[in-house]
Chain A
Amino acid sequence: MSKKTILAKFTDPDECLHAAEALVKGGVKIREVYSPFPIHGIDPVLGLSKTRISTAAFFYGGAGLSLALLMMWYMNVQDWPMDIGGKPSFSLATNLPAFIPVAFEITVLIAAHGMIGTYFFRTRLAPGIQPMNPEPRSTNDLFVMEIVLQDNPKQEATALKDQLLELGAMECTDDELRYED
């Protein structure tokens, strides 16, 4: 079933932000805002919580560090200890100074790629995925606010459009939701 939406197009990020604040204050539920660059401060207005992706990165880094130390301990201390240049590998603790560089590199490697992977997965980014921005100019110079009528049963479509135009929207068009959540 298709859902009717209103697309309000703004030409200025600050106008878009102020309009969103005014609408939310008036009880309107905004489904999404598509913008060519981040509009700072709009996420709490839309009810989005802070992203936890950096916490994930911390744990990836921890996993990377443990993995690196485990690998070096197993290979150079446990499985086949070598004595090169009179510097034998006795234990992880005594070899730790020499293991720091690789441990650091693998920590960064796993933290960075783990975070990028999580970001791609959560944001649904992969080659071949259909973009869902309803207005192609939203990646160029328009800030597009998407309001689903079903989300706002109390609002009347024409009144809402008038309000949006008053708040600075360049134009309002009717559309249908292109994705299901």
Chain B
Amino acid sequence: MQIESPIRQPLILGNKSYAQITDEIVRPIEGRANKMWYLVFTIAALCALWGLGLIAYTFGTGIGVWGLNKTVGWAWDITNFVWWVGIGHAGTLISAILLLFRQKWRMAINRSAEAMTIFAVICAAMFPGIHVGRVWVVYWFFPVPNQFGSLWVNFNSPLLWDLFAISTYFSVSLGFWYVGLIPDFATVRDRQIIPFMKRIYKIVSFGWSGTTKSWQRFEEVSLVLAGLSTPLVLSVHTIVSFDFATSVIPGWHTTIFPPYFVAGAIFSGFAMVATLLIIMRKVLNLEEYITVNHLESMNKIIVVTGSIVGVAYITELVIAWYSGVQYEHYAFLNRATGPYAWAYWIMMSCNVISPQLFWFKGIRRSLVGTFLLSIVVNIGMWFERFVIIVTSLHRDYLPSSWTMFYPTWVDVGIFVGTLGIFFTLFLLFARTFPVIAIAETKSILKSSGDGWKRKTKEKYARIGEEAEAH
């Protein structure tokens, strides 16, 4: 048994037993949803349907229904794509990188964060799919021989790298998530009384019985998948940033894009995890598992990554000035003072200034403060992508073609639709999946559970007293 220092805060509050952990995490699956769940689910599902309807409208009529024009050929679609992919990164960071660093606080949040990753990547992947216009030939993305003979895809293109990065990221995250879910599904299966539920969970638990050899393999597979996912998650947003950085547009052509995008992705992803978990822990009564300490740890990551993003913004400005290129100069001057300056300053204040509030312990540990700031960060990160994409494009080399980008109701509707899809999937997940990794949480009960920690502390105090008495 591992012994943890009694000074460390317990990760599981209350004097829990193993059976109690199972009961409390599985309860939302077995119980009935309340009115609030149905209400939120209905709203989310309607938004999702609305978005899907508008996607169908886009397919039927053409990309002209969006606000794009010949100068700004890429705007909301790609902004949303990058925003969603970025959100997904926190899940992999929590489940993979924190596993490699043996951070035990990840165990309460990794399941839902990974679910968030998968749903966010689904939302993200829709945009490259629908922005091509002629969606019926979308398979040209893939290296398949087409009807023109053996004309292949261009592997020198960052857009194709992106396709491989996103597909790999999605499928590997899904596999990693499912491998971790199997033992927990078996836990749910073995306590069902209703035959229908038992049958469903028997199918999804793949016949898991928890033998010693299977646990040995399970741990090895989890570790190696974490090792593979760690460079993968860094590569994905690096490649997303290559979509811009390898071009020659002033404002995009910067070598700091990869680390800057990765930090921004983790930043926005943790903010989204905080938004979701603050609601989820309350609704599903999981406050003793997802504690204020967990949120505080996440807020620390938010303030670190937020500061990295801030440094990147300033570096960009300095390098633009230092480059001595008048087009670079103008691109950044236009960003900060041009017609889209409002977007730039929303980005600056939401991403650089507001997270600095997390230096105060009171705000870091406050639920309301964390919730509000997490939403502010997500708004800021959406604007970051919007600023990078639209303000770099809308005033190009030819002043006669300078223009503004105005989103249409279809642009806005599809974005709202993806939010709907995301929340619909997440709400369904919260009702049918164990939202906390049950097996992993049990494995830290004796070292990090409140009740056990107190026992260990008493034991050491007793040993100390006895030693003094001698």
Contact = CB atoms under 8 A, between A and B. Distances in A.
A11 B5 CA distance: 24
B231 A108 contact: yes
Interface stretch (B151-159, B302-310, B356-364, B414-422): B151-159
Contact of A75 (B152, B182, B183): B152
B470 to A, nearest CB: 28
A33 interface: yes
Interface in A106-154: 106, 108-109, 111-113, 115-116, 119-120, 122-133, 136-141
A122 B206 CA distance: 13
Interface stretch (B78-86, B123-131, B167-175): B167-175
B220 A54 contact: yes
A116 B172 CA distance: 10
A42 B212 CA distance: 8
Q: Is the interface of B mostly helix, strand, loop or mixed?
A: helix
A108 to B, nearest CB: 5
A53 B206 contact: no
B348 interface: no
Contacts of B301: none
Contacts of A122: 217
B317 interface: no
Interface string B358-379: 0000000000000000000000
Interface string A34-64: 1111110011001010110110010000000
Nearest to B164: A105
Nearest to B444: A37
B14 to A, nearest CB: 16
A104 B235 contact: yes
Given A80-B151, A82-B154, A104-B235, A113 B171 contact: yes
B143 A101 contact: no
Contacts of B22: 36, 140-141
A113 B175 contact: yes
Contacts, number: 203
Nearest to A124: B207
Contacts of B220: 51, 53-54
Contacts of A123: 213-214, 217-218
Given A80-B152, A116-B179, A139 B187 contact: yes
A98 interface: yes
Interface string B190-225: 110000000000111111111111111111110111
A127 B229 CA distance: 25
Contact of B150 (A39, A80, A115): A80
Given A105-B168, A119-B179, A48 B19 contact: no
B186 interface: yes
A139 B143 contact: no
Interface string A53-83: 1100100000000000001100110011010
A119 B161 CA distance: 29
Interface residues of B, number: 69
Nearest to A146: B211
A123 B211 CA distance: 9
A23 to B, nearest CB: 14
B112 to A, nearest CB: 19
B430 interface: no
B207 A34 contact: no
A130 B207 contact: yes
Interface stretch (B50-58, B98-106, B435-443): B435-443
A72 B155 contact: yes
Nearest to B157: A84
A87 interface: yes
A122 B213 CA distance: 10
A8 B409 CA distance: 66
Nearest to A73: B155
A48 B443 CA distance: 21
A140 B187 contact: yes
A84 B154 contact: yes
B405 interface: no
B225 A115 contact: yes
A37 B154 contact: no
B18 interface: yes
Given A76-B154, A112-B176, A125 B190 contact: no
A71 B143 contact: yes
B213 A126 contact: no
B333 to A, nearest CB: 29
A111 B183 CA distance: 22
Contact of A98 (B17, B152, B155, B217): B155
Given A82-B154, A139-B183, 12 more contacts: A33-B211, A36-B439, A37-B442, A38-B218, A38-B443, A51-B213, A75-B155, A84-B154, A101-B158, A102-B160, A136-B190, A138-B209
Interface of B: 1, 17-19, 22, 143, 150-158, 160-161, 164-165, 167-168, 171-172, 175-176, 179, 182-183, 186-187, 189-191, 202-221, 223-225, 228-229, 231-232, 235, 239, 242, 438-440, 442-443, 446
13 contacts: A36-B439, A36-B442, A38-B439, A105-B164, A112-B175, A112-B225, A115-B221, A116-B175, A116-B221, A119-B218, A126-B206, A128-B202, A140-B187
